[in-house]
Structure 1
Amino acid sequence: MGRIGKLECDFIARRRNAYAYIQVSMSIADRGVEEREYRPFDHIRDGYPRYLFTLDPLLQERDGIRHLNMASFMQDGGDLI
């Protein structure tokens, strides 16, 4: 877990000098949950990638944040950095 101001980011991944910010939620179908999960990303000012993983079948992109399905990502052997 990492901190972005007073907010928490679930994971901050690092490989050498590259970073990625990661939020994880079962679903963001509920608007309140969606806002809660995206909120920490609003405070990130660097250009490193930001990801939101859920089990939702319908994915979205919002403000450059990639919304990925966790099961598909794992099945495809995905790599973030």
Structure 2
Amino acid sequence: MAPRYSKTASTDVGRAMKKRKVGTLKSGRSGRTVKSRKQAIAIGLSEARAKGKKVPKKAAKKRKTAKKTAKKRKAKKRR
């Protein structure tokens, strides 16, 4: 079975992690310093995607709250 991530993608993530540890990793538009480990990994992966390296697609966002509100609206209309 083939690996999901390429070695070059993992080096990008490693570089982002080192930048975070030093305190020089900045987030997107706001430019704030990144303190979260998960956010540093996400930044490294998104940079690898932008360079065209082998990285899986982002997981689709689930809309549980939208479904719940739609059900409530239907229930109110029936009354």
Whether TM exceeds 0.5 here: the answer is: no
TM-score, scaled relative to structure 1: 0.26
From the two aligned structures, give the one with the greater strand fraction.
Answer: 1
TM-score, scaled relative to structure 2: 0.26
From the two aligned structures, give the one with the greater helix fraction.
Answer: 2
